[in-house]
Amino acid sequence: MTRRNRDSGSGLLRSALNSSRVPSSAGRTSQRDTPQLQYSQQASRDVSDDEFDDAASTASSDAWVMNEDEHIEIGDEWESLLDTALDALGEKRAAAREKTLQSILRLMAHTYMGDGLEGRRVMLLEALRRSVRSTKSHMEQVRALHGISMWFVNFGTQDEAESEFASVSEQLRVMVVDPACDSQVRAQALGALGVANFIAGADFRDAAELAQFVHTRVLDPALESRDMSVAHQAFSTLGLLLTVVADGDSLLLENIFDASFDSHMRGLRADSVDVRVAAAQNFALVHSALGADTDYMFDSQDELIGMLEMLQHESSKRLGKRDISVQRTAVREVLRTIEDSSAPELKLNLHGRLVRFGDWTRIVRLQAFRRVVGGGLPVHFARNELVQDVFEVKFDTTGDDFARNRARMVVNPNSELAKMRTRDIRRRRDARRDELLPDLDD
Protein backbone atom coordinates (compact mmCIF):
# COMPACT_ATOMS: atom_id res chain seq x y z
CA MET A 1 0.00 0.00 0.00
CA THR A 2 1.41 3.39 -0.88
CA ARG A 3 1.21 5.57 2.20
CA ARG A 4 3.12 8.84 2.04
CA ASN A 5 5.37 10.01 4.88
CA ARG A 6 4.05 13.35 6.10
CA ASP A 7 7.51 14.61 7.12
CA SER A 8 9.88 13.43 4.44
CA GLY A 9 7.44 13.19 1.54
CA SER A 10 8.75 9.71 0.72
CA GLY A 11 6.33 6.79 0.55
CA LEU A 12 5.86 4.33 3.37
CA LEU A 13 4.96 1.74 0.79
CA ARG A 14 8.16 -0.26 0.72
CA SER A 15 8.44 -0.52 4.48
CA ALA A 16 4.76 -1.42 4.74
CA LEU A 17 5.18 -4.21 2.22
CA ASN A 18 8.34 -5.60 3.75
CA SER A 19 7.67 -5.18 7.44
CA SER A 20 5.96 -7.74 9.64
CA ARG A 21 2.48 -7.00 10.93
CA VAL A 22 1.92 -6.13 14.55
CA PRO A 23 1.66 -9.51 16.25
CA SER A 24 -1.72 -10.60 17.48
CA SER A 25 -2.25 -12.52 20.67
CA ALA A 26 -1.16 -15.64 18.79
CA GLY A 27 2.12 -14.02 17.83
CA ARG A 28 1.51 -14.19 14.09
CA THR A 29 3.90 -12.42 11.73
CA SER A 30 3.80 -11.84 7.99
CA GLN A 31 6.07 -13.62 5.57
CA ARG A 32 5.29 -13.16 1.91
CA ASP A 33 7.18 -14.26 -1.16
CA THR A 34 8.53 -11.54 -3.36
CA PRO A 35 7.48 -11.94 -7.00
CA GLN A 36 10.26 -13.66 -8.93
CA LEU A 37 11.49 -12.37 -12.27
CA GLN A 38 12.50 -14.89 -14.93
CA TYR A 39 13.52 -14.22 -18.49
CA SER A 40 11.06 -15.46 -21.07
CA GLN A 41 11.51 -15.94 -24.79
CA GLN A 42 8.04 -14.53 -25.38
CA ALA A 43 7.99 -10.77 -25.82
CA SER A 44 5.35 -8.87 -23.92
CA ARG A 45 2.60 -7.33 -25.91
CA ASP A 46 -0.29 -4.99 -25.18
CA VAL A 47 -3.35 -6.46 -23.53
CA SER A 48 -6.64 -5.48 -25.08
CA ASP A 49 -9.12 -3.94 -22.69
CA ASP A 50 -11.66 -6.60 -23.62
CA GLU A 51 -9.47 -9.29 -22.09
CA PHE A 52 -9.67 -7.73 -18.66
CA ASP A 53 -13.23 -8.54 -17.63
CA ASP A 54 -13.62 -8.94 -13.91
CA ALA A 55 -15.35 -12.32 -14.06
CA ALA A 56 -12.18 -13.94 -15.33
CA SER A 57 -9.89 -12.14 -12.92
CA THR A 58 -9.13 -15.13 -10.76
CA ALA A 59 -5.63 -16.31 -10.07
CA SER A 60 -4.47 -18.84 -12.60
CA SER A 61 -1.40 -20.94 -13.18
CA ASP A 62 -1.44 -19.86 -16.82
CA ALA A 63 0.34 -16.72 -17.92
CA TRP A 64 -1.96 -13.96 -19.08
CA VAL A 65 -2.12 -13.80 -22.86
CA MET A 66 -1.18 -10.49 -24.39
CA ASN A 67 -2.54 -9.46 -27.76
CA GLU A 68 -1.23 -6.75 -30.06
CA ASP A 69 -2.81 -5.10 -33.09
CA GLU A 70 -0.76 -3.15 -35.60
CA HIS A 71 -2.49 0.21 -35.42
CA ILE A 72 -1.32 3.74 -34.60
CA GLU A 73 1.49 4.19 -32.08
CA ILE A 74 1.32 7.07 -29.60
CA GLY A 75 4.80 8.13 -28.57
CA ASP A 76 5.85 11.33 -26.83
CA GLU A 77 2.83 13.28 -28.05
CA TRP A 78 0.65 12.34 -25.12
CA GLU A 79 0.79 15.71 -23.33
CA SER A 80 -0.35 17.53 -26.43
CA LEU A 81 -3.10 14.97 -26.99
CA LEU A 82 -4.20 15.28 -23.38
CA ASP A 83 -4.38 19.08 -23.66
CA THR A 84 -6.56 18.72 -26.74
CA ALA A 85 -8.80 16.24 -24.93
CA LEU A 86 -9.17 18.48 -21.89
CA ASP A 87 -10.26 21.34 -24.15
CA ALA A 88 -12.83 19.01 -25.73
CA LEU A 89 -14.30 18.21 -22.30
CA GLY A 90 -15.91 21.65 -22.48
CA GLU A 91 -18.30 20.38 -25.15
CA LYS A 92 -21.97 20.90 -24.33
CA ARG A 93 -23.08 17.54 -25.74
CA ALA A 94 -22.77 14.70 -23.23
CA ALA A 95 -22.05 12.19 -26.01
CA ALA A 96 -19.02 14.24 -27.11
CA ARG A 97 -17.71 14.39 -23.54
CA GLU A 98 -18.16 10.61 -23.19
CA LYS A 99 -15.99 10.02 -26.28
CA THR A 100 -13.39 12.48 -25.04
CA LEU A 101 -13.24 10.76 -21.65
CA GLN A 102 -12.71 7.41 -23.35
CA SER A 103 -9.73 8.90 -25.17
CA ILE A 104 -8.36 10.29 -21.90
CA LEU A 105 -8.76 6.87 -20.27
CA ARG A 106 -6.74 5.19 -23.01
CA LEU A 107 -4.02 7.82 -22.73
CA MET A 108 -3.82 7.45 -18.95
CA ALA A 109 -3.82 3.66 -19.15
CA HIS A 110 -1.18 3.27 -21.82
CA THR A 111 1.09 6.15 -20.82
CA TYR A 112 2.82 6.73 -17.51
CA MET A 113 2.20 10.41 -16.79
CA GLY A 114 3.67 10.65 -13.31
CA ASP A 115 6.83 12.51 -14.36
CA GLY A 116 4.97 15.00 -16.56
CA LEU A 117 2.15 17.54 -16.42
CA GLU A 118 4.00 19.80 -13.99
CA GLY A 119 1.51 22.35 -12.67
CA ARG A 120 -1.41 20.74 -14.54
CA ARG A 121 -1.97 17.53 -12.59
CA VAL A 122 -4.65 18.99 -10.35
CA MET A 123 -6.26 20.62 -13.39
CA LEU A 124 -6.68 17.15 -14.94
CA LEU A 125 -8.17 15.81 -11.71
CA GLU A 126 -10.57 18.76 -11.44
CA ALA A 127 -11.73 18.17 -15.02
CA LEU A 128 -12.53 14.57 -14.15
CA ARG A 129 -14.34 15.60 -10.97
CA ARG A 130 -16.48 18.07 -12.93
CA SER A 131 -17.58 15.26 -15.22
CA VAL A 132 -18.36 13.13 -12.17
CA ARG A 133 -20.71 15.84 -10.94
CA SER A 134 -22.57 15.84 -14.25
CA THR A 135 -26.04 14.32 -13.96
CA LYS A 136 -26.85 14.26 -17.68
CA SER A 137 -24.99 11.05 -18.50
CA HIS A 138 -24.26 8.00 -16.38
CA MET A 139 -21.62 6.94 -18.88
CA GLU A 140 -19.81 10.25 -18.45
CA GLN A 141 -19.82 9.76 -14.69
CA VAL A 142 -18.58 6.16 -14.91
CA ARG A 143 -15.72 7.06 -17.24
CA ALA A 144 -14.73 10.10 -15.20
CA LEU A 145 -14.67 7.99 -12.02
CA HIS A 146 -12.49 5.45 -13.79
CA GLY A 147 -10.25 8.36 -14.73
CA ILE A 148 -9.92 9.33 -11.06
CA SER A 149 -8.64 5.83 -10.30
CA MET A 150 -6.14 6.19 -13.12
CA TRP A 151 -5.11 9.63 -11.89
CA PHE A 152 -4.07 8.19 -8.52
CA VAL A 153 -2.22 5.32 -10.22
CA ASN A 154 -0.32 7.77 -12.44
CA PHE A 155 0.41 10.43 -9.82
CA GLY A 156 0.42 8.38 -6.63
CA THR A 157 4.08 9.14 -5.88
CA GLN A 158 3.60 12.89 -6.31
CA ASP A 159 2.65 15.42 -3.64
CA GLU A 160 -0.64 16.18 -5.39
CA ALA A 161 -1.99 12.70 -4.59
CA GLU A 162 -1.70 13.32 -0.87
CA SER A 163 -3.00 16.88 -0.99
CA GLU A 164 -6.06 16.02 -3.10
CA PHE A 165 -6.97 12.74 -1.40
CA ALA A 166 -9.21 14.13 1.36
CA SER A 167 -11.51 16.15 -0.89
CA VAL A 168 -11.73 13.38 -3.51
CA SER A 169 -12.47 10.82 -0.79
CA GLU A 170 -15.28 12.95 0.60
CA GLN A 171 -16.87 13.35 -2.83
CA LEU A 172 -16.70 9.61 -3.53
CA ARG A 173 -18.08 8.58 -0.13
CA VAL A 174 -21.17 10.70 -0.73
CA MET A 175 -21.73 9.06 -4.09
CA VAL A 176 -21.36 5.44 -3.01
CA VAL A 177 -24.14 5.74 -0.41
CA ASP A 178 -26.46 7.92 -2.51
CA PRO A 179 -29.46 5.76 -3.51
CA ALA A 180 -30.29 8.25 -6.25
CA CYS A 181 -27.03 7.40 -8.06
CA ASP A 182 -27.06 4.80 -10.79
CA SER A 183 -25.79 1.39 -9.65
CA GLN A 184 -22.87 1.36 -12.10
CA VAL A 185 -21.88 4.87 -11.04
CA ARG A 186 -21.88 3.86 -7.37
CA ALA A 187 -19.79 0.77 -8.13
CA GLN A 188 -17.23 2.79 -10.09
CA ALA A 189 -17.11 5.43 -7.35
CA LEU A 190 -16.45 2.72 -4.78
CA GLY A 191 -13.64 1.30 -6.89
CA ALA A 192 -12.06 4.74 -7.20
CA LEU A 193 -12.43 5.31 -3.45
CA GLY A 194 -10.63 2.06 -2.67
CA VAL A 195 -7.77 2.74 -5.09
CA ALA A 196 -7.33 6.30 -3.83
CA ASN A 197 -7.22 5.10 -0.22
CA PHE A 198 -4.77 2.32 -1.05
CA ILE A 199 -2.43 4.79 -2.74
CA ALA A 200 -2.81 8.04 -0.81
CA GLY A 201 -4.31 7.18 2.59
CA ALA A 202 -2.27 7.87 5.71
CA ASP A 203 -1.75 4.31 7.00
CA PHE A 204 -3.46 0.98 7.67
CA ARG A 205 -5.86 2.64 10.10
CA ASP A 206 -7.33 4.65 7.22
CA ALA A 207 -7.79 1.43 5.28
CA ALA A 208 -9.43 -0.25 8.28
CA GLU A 209 -11.87 2.63 8.77
CA LEU A 210 -12.84 2.57 5.09
CA ALA A 211 -13.18 -1.23 5.17
CA GLN A 212 -15.72 -0.92 8.00
CA PHE A 213 -17.54 1.82 6.04
CA VAL A 214 -17.69 -0.38 2.93
CA HIS A 215 -19.01 -3.33 4.94
CA THR A 216 -21.75 -1.56 6.87
CA ARG A 217 -22.77 1.25 4.50
CA VAL A 218 -22.30 -0.37 1.09
CA LEU A 219 -21.92 -4.16 1.11
CA ASP A 220 -24.76 -5.15 3.44
CA PRO A 221 -27.31 -2.83 1.77
CA ALA A 222 -26.21 -4.06 -1.68
CA LEU A 223 -26.68 -7.69 -0.67
CA GLU A 224 -30.05 -6.86 0.85
CA SER A 225 -31.25 -5.14 -2.34
CA ARG A 226 -29.51 -7.70 -4.58
CA ASP A 227 -27.49 -4.99 -6.32
CA MET A 228 -24.84 -7.34 -7.68
CA SER A 229 -22.66 -4.74 -9.39
CA VAL A 230 -22.23 -2.76 -6.16
CA ALA A 231 -21.85 -5.94 -4.09
CA HIS A 232 -19.14 -7.24 -6.42
CA GLN A 233 -17.20 -3.99 -6.22
CA ALA A 234 -17.68 -3.88 -2.44
CA PHE A 235 -16.10 -7.33 -1.99
CA SER A 236 -13.26 -6.40 -4.37
CA THR A 237 -12.60 -3.10 -2.59
CA LEU A 238 -12.71 -4.83 0.79
CA GLY A 239 -10.11 -7.30 -0.41
CA LEU A 240 -7.76 -4.54 -1.52
CA LEU A 241 -8.14 -2.67 1.78
CA LEU A 242 -7.66 -5.83 3.82
CA THR A 243 -4.24 -6.36 2.20
CA VAL A 244 -3.23 -3.05 3.78
CA VAL A 245 -4.70 -3.86 7.20
CA ALA A 246 -2.92 -7.22 7.12
CA ASP A 247 0.41 -5.46 6.71
CA GLY A 248 -0.37 -3.17 9.64
CA ASP A 249 -2.14 -5.12 12.38
CA SER A 250 -3.21 -8.75 12.14
CA LEU A 251 -5.51 -8.52 15.19
CA LEU A 252 -7.34 -5.59 13.60
CA LEU A 253 -7.63 -7.61 10.39
CA GLU A 254 -9.14 -10.51 12.32
CA ASN A 255 -11.66 -8.25 14.05
CA ILE A 256 -12.72 -6.54 10.82
CA PHE A 257 -13.19 -9.82 8.99
CA ASP A 258 -15.04 -11.44 11.88
CA ALA A 259 -17.53 -8.58 11.67
CA SER A 260 -18.04 -9.15 7.94
CA PHE A 261 -17.88 -12.96 8.01
CA ASP A 262 -21.64 -13.44 7.69
CA SER A 263 -21.76 -10.93 4.83
CA HIS A 264 -19.08 -12.90 3.01
CA MET A 265 -21.05 -16.10 3.54
CA ARG A 266 -24.07 -14.37 2.03
CA GLY A 267 -21.85 -13.38 -0.88
CA LEU A 268 -21.11 -17.06 -1.55
CA ARG A 269 -24.85 -17.62 -1.92
CA ALA A 270 -25.39 -14.63 -4.25
CA ASP A 271 -26.89 -15.02 -7.72
CA SER A 272 -23.82 -13.51 -9.37
CA VAL A 273 -20.72 -15.63 -10.03
CA ASP A 274 -18.59 -12.49 -9.86
CA VAL A 275 -19.85 -11.78 -6.35
CA ARG A 276 -19.26 -15.38 -5.23
CA VAL A 277 -15.69 -15.36 -6.56
CA ALA A 278 -14.83 -12.01 -4.96
CA ALA A 279 -16.23 -13.13 -1.59
CA ALA A 280 -14.44 -16.48 -1.79
CA GLN A 281 -11.10 -14.87 -2.56
CA ASN A 282 -11.40 -12.65 0.50
CA PHE A 283 -11.71 -15.79 2.65
CA ALA A 284 -8.48 -17.08 1.10
CA LEU A 285 -6.74 -13.72 1.49
CA VAL A 286 -7.56 -13.42 5.20
CA HIS A 287 -6.85 -17.09 5.96
CA SER A 288 -3.41 -16.87 4.31
CA ALA A 289 -2.63 -13.62 6.15
CA LEU A 290 -3.72 -14.84 9.59
CA GLY A 291 -2.40 -18.36 9.12
CA ALA A 292 1.08 -17.43 7.93
CA ASP A 293 2.75 -19.01 10.97
CA THR A 294 -0.15 -20.76 12.69
CA ASP A 295 -2.87 -23.27 11.88
CA TYR A 296 -5.51 -20.57 11.74
CA MET A 297 -9.17 -21.58 11.44
CA PHE A 298 -12.30 -19.49 10.99
CA ASP A 299 -14.91 -19.89 13.73
CA SER A 300 -17.33 -21.48 11.25
CA GLN A 301 -14.74 -23.10 9.02
CA ASP A 302 -16.66 -26.38 8.55
CA GLU A 303 -19.69 -24.47 7.32
CA LEU A 304 -17.47 -22.41 5.01
CA ILE A 305 -15.74 -25.45 3.53
CA GLY A 306 -19.09 -27.14 3.01
CA MET A 307 -20.38 -24.10 1.12
CA LEU A 308 -17.24 -23.87 -1.02
CA GLU A 309 -17.37 -27.58 -1.87
CA MET A 310 -20.98 -27.19 -2.94
CA LEU A 311 -20.01 -24.29 -5.23
CA GLN A 312 -17.10 -26.27 -6.65
CA HIS A 313 -19.42 -29.09 -7.72
CA GLU A 314 -22.41 -26.96 -8.68
CA SER A 315 -24.24 -28.19 -11.77
CA SER A 316 -23.76 -26.29 -15.01
CA LYS A 317 -27.48 -26.53 -15.72
CA ARG A 318 -28.15 -23.33 -13.78
CA LEU A 319 -25.00 -21.49 -14.89
CA GLY A 320 -23.36 -21.04 -18.26
CA LYS A 321 -20.24 -23.04 -19.11
CA ARG A 322 -17.99 -20.03 -18.78
CA ASP A 323 -19.43 -19.00 -15.42
CA ILE A 324 -19.20 -22.49 -14.00
CA SER A 325 -15.59 -22.79 -15.18
CA VAL A 326 -14.64 -19.48 -13.54
CA GLN A 327 -16.39 -20.42 -10.31
CA ARG A 328 -14.88 -23.89 -10.08
CA THR A 329 -11.35 -22.64 -10.75
CA ALA A 330 -11.61 -19.85 -8.19
CA VAL A 331 -13.23 -22.01 -5.50
CA ARG A 332 -10.68 -24.79 -6.00
CA GLU A 333 -7.85 -22.31 -5.35
CA VAL A 334 -9.60 -20.94 -2.27
CA LEU A 335 -10.16 -24.44 -0.85
CA ARG A 336 -6.49 -25.31 -1.35
CA THR A 337 -5.53 -22.23 0.64
CA ILE A 338 -7.93 -22.88 3.52
CA GLU A 339 -7.38 -26.64 3.75
CA ASP A 340 -3.72 -26.98 2.73
CA SER A 341 -2.29 -23.43 3.16
CA SER A 342 -1.40 -23.58 -0.53
CA ALA A 343 -1.43 -20.28 -2.41
CA PRO A 344 -2.04 -20.15 -6.16
CA GLU A 345 0.61 -18.92 -8.55
CA LEU A 346 -0.10 -16.36 -11.22
CA LYS A 347 2.40 -15.69 -14.00
CA LEU A 348 2.58 -12.57 -16.11
CA ASN A 349 4.75 -12.02 -19.18
CA LEU A 350 6.11 -8.46 -19.17
CA HIS A 351 8.78 -7.13 -21.47
CA GLY A 352 10.43 -10.50 -21.99
CA ARG A 353 10.29 -11.43 -18.31
CA LEU A 354 8.01 -13.84 -16.54
CA VAL A 355 6.81 -12.29 -13.28
CA ARG A 356 5.39 -14.75 -10.74
CA PHE A 357 2.89 -13.81 -8.04
CA GLY A 358 2.68 -16.49 -5.39
CA ASP A 359 0.55 -15.07 -2.57
CA TRP A 360 -2.97 -13.79 -2.23
CA THR A 361 -1.98 -10.29 -1.13
CA ARG A 362 -0.14 -9.50 -4.33
CA ILE A 363 -2.69 -11.32 -6.47
CA VAL A 364 -5.54 -9.26 -5.02
CA ARG A 365 -3.53 -6.08 -5.53
CA LEU A 366 -2.67 -7.12 -9.06
CA GLN A 367 -6.35 -7.66 -9.84
CA ALA A 368 -7.12 -4.16 -8.54
CA PHE A 369 -4.48 -2.50 -10.74
CA ARG A 370 -5.54 -4.67 -13.63
CA ARG A 371 -9.12 -3.41 -13.33
CA VAL A 372 -7.87 0.18 -13.42
CA VAL A 373 -5.30 0.23 -16.23
CA GLY A 374 -6.37 -2.84 -18.22
CA GLY A 375 -4.17 -3.24 -21.28
CA GLY A 376 -1.77 -0.58 -20.02
CA LEU A 377 -0.49 -2.85 -17.26
CA PRO A 378 2.85 -3.61 -18.99
CA VAL A 379 3.52 0.12 -19.41
CA HIS A 380 2.98 0.83 -15.72
CA PHE A 381 5.07 -2.12 -14.59
CA ALA A 382 7.92 -0.79 -16.70
CA ARG A 383 7.62 2.95 -16.02
CA ASN A 384 5.51 3.59 -12.92
CA GLU A 385 7.53 3.66 -9.69
CA LEU A 386 4.39 3.26 -7.61
CA VAL A 387 3.44 0.00 -9.34
CA GLN A 388 7.01 -1.25 -9.09
CA ASP A 389 7.06 -0.51 -5.36
CA VAL A 390 3.72 -2.21 -4.75
CA PHE A 391 4.89 -5.42 -6.42
CA GLU A 392 8.64 -5.11 -5.69
CA VAL A 393 9.53 -5.47 -9.35
CA LYS A 394 12.08 -3.39 -11.24
CA PHE A 395 12.77 -3.21 -14.95
CA ASP A 396 15.94 -1.98 -16.62
CA THR A 397 14.44 0.29 -19.28
CA THR A 398 17.82 1.24 -20.77
CA GLY A 399 18.85 -2.07 -22.31
CA ASP A 400 18.30 -3.45 -25.79
CA ASP A 401 16.09 -6.25 -24.47
CA PHE A 402 13.61 -3.75 -23.09
CA ALA A 403 13.68 -1.71 -26.31
CA ARG A 404 12.80 -4.80 -28.32
CA ASN A 405 10.05 -5.91 -25.95
CA ARG A 406 8.65 -2.59 -24.76
CA ALA A 407 4.91 -2.23 -24.64
CA ARG A 408 3.43 0.17 -27.15
CA MET A 409 0.17 2.04 -27.05
CA VAL A 410 -1.85 1.04 -30.08
CA VAL A 411 -5.11 2.53 -31.20
CA ASN A 412 -7.68 1.71 -33.82
CA PRO A 413 -7.30 4.31 -36.61
CA ASN A 414 -11.07 4.87 -36.56
CA SER A 415 -11.19 5.59 -32.83
CA GLU A 416 -11.77 8.99 -31.26
CA LEU A 417 -8.20 9.00 -29.97
CA ALA A 418 -6.82 8.49 -33.47
CA LYS A 419 -9.02 11.27 -34.83
CA MET A 420 -7.92 13.53 -31.98
CA ARG A 421 -4.30 12.74 -32.80
CA THR A 422 -4.88 13.70 -36.45
CA ARG A 423 -6.56 16.98 -35.48
CA ASP A 424 -3.73 17.78 -33.08
CA ILE A 425 -1.06 17.12 -35.73
CA ARG A 426 -2.98 19.33 -38.19
CA ARG A 427 -3.32 22.10 -35.63
CA ARG A 428 0.38 22.11 -34.81
CA ARG A 429 1.28 21.94 -38.50
CA ASP A 430 -0.89 24.99 -39.20
CA ALA A 431 0.65 26.87 -36.27
CA ARG A 432 4.15 26.04 -37.53
CA ARG A 433 3.26 27.16 -41.05
CA ASP A 434 1.97 30.51 -39.75
CA GLU A 435 5.28 31.04 -37.95
CA LEU A 436 7.36 30.28 -41.06
CA LEU A 437 5.32 32.01 -43.79
CA PRO A 438 5.45 35.81 -44.15
CA ASP A 439 2.29 37.81 -43.50
CA LEU A 440 0.78 38.19 -46.99
CA ASP A 441 -0.99 41.39 -45.99
CA ASP A 442 2.29 43.23 -45.32
Give residue-wise pLDDT tens across range 148-160.
999 999 999 999 9
Instruction: List, as own/partner pairs, every contact residues 299-307 make where C-beta atoms lie below 8 angstroms and the sequence separation is at least 24, other chains included.
Output: 299/258, 299/261, 300/261, 300/265, 301/338, 303/265, 304/265, 304/338, 305/335, 305/338, 305/339, 307/265, 307/268, 307/269
SS3 (DSSP) at 136: coil
Residue 432: pLDDT band (50, 70, 90) is low
Taking 70 as the threshold, does the pLDDT of residue 6 lie above it? Answer: no
Looking at residue 414, its pLDDT comes to: 52
pLDDT at residue number 71: 33
Q: What is the pLDDT of residues 173-212, one digit of tens each?
A: 999 999 999 999 999 999 999 999 999 999 999 999 999 9
Q: What percent of the chain has pLDDT over 90?
A: 58
What average pLDDT does this structure show over 136-145? 96
Give the chain's length.
442
CA 93, 373, 351, 67 torsion-angle sign: negative
Beta bridge partners of 356: 36, 347
In percent, how much of the chain has pLDDT > 70? Answer: 72
Closest CA to 368 of 217, 150, 181: 150
Instruction: Give tens-digit pLDDT for 401-415.
Output: 544 444 333 344 455
Q: What is the pLDDT of residue 18?
A: 37
Whether the per-residue pLDDT at 112 is higher than 70: the answer is yes
Please check the confidence at residue 317 and state whether its pLDDT lies above 90.
no
- In the predicted model, is pLDDT for residue 3 greater than 50? no
Mean pLDDT of 362-383: 94
Neighbour-count burial for 282-301, b at 16+ CB within 10 Å, e otherwise: bbbbbbbbbbbeeebebeee
